[in-house]
Amino acid sequence: MSKECTEQEKWELIGKIKVSPIKYKTLKTIKTEYLMPSEIAKYSGLRITQVSNALRDLKQRDLVVCINEEAKKGRLYHNTELGLEILEMIEKNTSD
């Protein structure tokens, strides 16, 4: 989904994130930071395997990007503009 998303596609992404607390927590933990999976796990309270699976899915949906893909250790993840937009839409439409 590297092209511009339609409004409908954005709502579909929101639905996929909202049904998965792990994906939501991963996106929310990253926010505007550059974090390694181990840091995301530490800050979010999730297990590293949960974070790794969530990152793989979020990356496929163009919501996060690994900025140093070639690194074997210390990979850093960051939310894309789309990821930040989806996170903002979720937070705006969630009444906690």
Q: Which pLDDT tens digit goes with each residue over 14-34?
A: 999 999 999 999 999 999 999
Q: Which pLDDT tens digit goes with each residue over 44-57?
A: 999 999 999 999 99
- State how far the Cα of 64 lies from the Cα of 51, in Å rounded to an integer: 12
| Share above pLDDT 70 across residues of the chain, in percent, rounded to a whole number | 95
CATH number of 7-90: 1.10.10.10
- State how far the Cα of 1 lies from the Cα of 32, in Å rounded to an integer: 21
Domain ranges of the chain: 7-90
| Share above pLDDT 90 across residues of the chain, in percent, rounded to a whole number | 89
- State how far the Cα of 82 lies from the Cα of 60, in Å rounded to an integer: 12
34 SS3 class: coil
Average confidence score pLDDT of the chain = 93
- State how far the Cα of 36 lies from the Cα of 30, in Å rounded to an integer: 9
- State how far the Cα of 44 lies from the Cα of 25, in Å rounded to an integer: 7
